[in-house]
Homo-oligomer: A and B are copies of this chain.
Amino acid sequence: MDFSEELFASGNIRLDAQLKFTAEIDRMTSVLRRTLLLDRSRCENDAEHSWHIAVMALLFEEYSLEKIDLHHAVEMLLVHDLIEIYAGDTFAYDTEGNKSKSERENAAAEKLFSMLPAEQGSRICSLWKEFDASVTADAKYANCLDKLQPFFHNMLTEGYTWRNAATPVTKVQVEKRMACIKEFMPQVYIWVDKSISLAVKQGWLS
């Protein structure tokens, strides 16, 4: 977006940069995902998704097998999709799109996070990279929620995303995607597993 410079002239260079970044990330509201909102009015956007899973993080910690630094996990969830402002949302089951994903996302991170004062930009960038690598316990927990929430939305919207994919989504694909939950939140996976069976029975998954 292109705003008048007059609006970012506090006389404090750090603050002006932080305010510009704050304006820029409002664009998360126009990055649409494949997930339908539960009232089925439209597809969810990245801002809504990020908020939803951040609240979930406050509720589902008890199911993780490893101890979580909840604040760190929440911070990751709040910023994990910011790079999609420039890189777009890549559909989980889009094989072609996922080939160029990493390159597009790195360029987006460089462009976006360099708007901030250096140490803040690199802190947010580190959070995103940690989420993306999914190696630490906090990142695994965050990734589980990032996968659980759209799965949950699909179950509550008669498999909307799965049924509307260019190629029908299969049970095996979803099981593979949910494997992190099976490993890291096995009690939650009991529900996921039952739900996958229900989705197959209903014809939402092939």
A26 within 8 A of B: yes
Q: Contacts A7-B155, A54-B78, A191-B10: A41 and B30 contacting too (C-beta < 8 A)?
A: yes
CB of B124 within 8 A of CB of A58, answer: yes
A3 contact set on B, CB distance < 8 A:
156
Report Cα–Cα, A153/B50, bound state, in Å.
20
Chain A: interface residue total (CB-CB under 8 A)? 59
A191 contact set on B, CB distance < 8 A:
10, 12, 15, 19
A106 contact set on B, CB distance < 8 A:
none
A139 contact set on B, CB distance < 8 A:
none
In the assembled complex, how far is the CB of residue A205 from the closest CB belonging to chain B, in whole angstroms?
Answer: 15
From B59, B71, B74, contact of A18 by CB (8 A): B59
In the assembled complex, how far is the CB of residue A144 from the closest CB belonging to chain B, in whole angstroms?
Answer: 13
A52 within 8 A of B: yes
A147 within 8 A of B: no
CB of A54 within 8 A of CB of B51, answer: yes
Report Cα–Cα, A30/B50, bound state, in Å.
16
Contact string, A37-54, partner B, CB cutoff 8 A, digits 1/0?
Answer: 111010011011011101
CB of B6 within 8 A of CB of A198, answer: yes
A108 contact set on B, CB distance < 8 A:
none
A37 contact set on B, CB distance < 8 A:
26, 29-30
A70 within 8 A of B: yes
A28 within 8 A of B: yes
Most B C-beta atoms less than 10 A away, residue of A1, A19, A28? A19
